[in-house]
């Protein structure tokens, strides 16, 4: 089986909104529904689970019914960190599915992932044991100790910017999180960095500049512009 695990535990402080960013409406539709619809539409995805911000579970269920997200089968409490939210989802999925089943972990505020991104993540995960959506780095990347100045840069041709989904077999992902807890790794940025911290190699799958993570007002403006452009087509 192919499972999707979305994280939706953010409070959206950078948005300066009373509503958590994943529930902000854009064109009369909650942000998270865009991502859910992508997984709902994909023929290879069997089940969707969400780690949801506490107190918003009923709202999420209502939206899922309204927008016919029939693959949503599991809602678990989000954690204090993204790592904890993912682990909460893993614990629930392990109760119902096989260790060999593929799980795609995705940010609930990445609303524009394409069907091709989902498909390629699955293919790469099945071939190599993990698949990390990513894009090449086009910008000059500078290192700074104080965020004021820099005297060091990185060769951008050697750098990849990761996105989500991150694909892993369910059993492998669970083992990673349990091993991380043993080593007191408790607030890693993402599943790909967690794997690397544990000494594993990760493999890249298809990403897109359109697969943006909506965390700021500027991101929201870009998302609205992309939707308008798609509508124009």
The pTM of the full predicted model, rounded to 2 decimals, is: 0.94
Provide the percentage of residues in the chain whose pLDDT is more than 90. 91
Q: Is 78 helix (H, G, I), strand (E, B) or coil?
A: coil
In angstroms, rounded to a whole number, what is the distance separating the alpha carbons of residues 17 and 67?
Answer: 23
Element (H, E) at 164: strand 160-169
Q: What's the full length of the chain, in residues?
A: 233
Distance in angstroms (rounded) separating the CA atoms of residues 1 and 216: 34
All residues at 6 or more sequence positions from 20 whose CB lies less than 8 Å from its CB, including other chains: 8, 10, 11, 12, 53, 56
| Cis amide prior to 165 (ω within 30 degrees) | yes
Residue from 110, 40, 114 nearest 73 by CA: 40
Q: Please, what are the domains in the chain?
A: 2-232 (3.90.550.10)
User: pLDDT digit string (tens) for 120-144?
Assistant: 999 999 999 999 999 999 999 999 9
- Would the pLDDT of 232 be above 80? no
Sorting pLDDT into bands at 50, 70 and 90, what band is 10?
A: confident
């Amino acid at each position: 089986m192919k499972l999707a695990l979305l994280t939706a535990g953010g409070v959206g402080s950078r948005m300066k909104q009373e509503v958590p960013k994943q529930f902000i409406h854009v064109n009369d539709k909650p942000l998270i529904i865009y991502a859910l619809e992508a997984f709902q539409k994909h023929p290879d995805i069997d089940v969707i689970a969400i780690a949801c911000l506490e107190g918003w579970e009923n709202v999420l269920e209502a939206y899922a019914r309204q927008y016919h997200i029939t693959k949503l089968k599991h809602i678990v409490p989000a954690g204090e960190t993204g790592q904890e939210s993912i682990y909460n989802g893993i614990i629930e999925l392990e109760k119902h599915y096989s260790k060999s089943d593929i799980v795609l972990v995705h940010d609930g505020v990445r609303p524009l992932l394409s069907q091709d991104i989902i498909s390629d993540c699955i293919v790469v995960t099945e071939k190599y044991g993990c698949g990390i959506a990513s894009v090449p780095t086009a910008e000059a990347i500078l290192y700074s100790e104080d965020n004021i100045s820099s005297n060091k840069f990185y060769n951008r041709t050697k750098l990849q910017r990761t996105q989500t989904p991150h694909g892993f077999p369910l059993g492998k992902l669970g083992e990673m999180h349990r091993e991380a807890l043993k080593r007191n790794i408790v607030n890693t940025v993402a599943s790909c960095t967690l794997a690397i911290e544990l000494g594993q190699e990760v493999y890249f799958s298809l990403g897109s500049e359109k697969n943006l993570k909506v965390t700021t007002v500027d991101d929201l403006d870009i998302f609205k512009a992309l939707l308008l452009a798609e509508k124009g087509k």
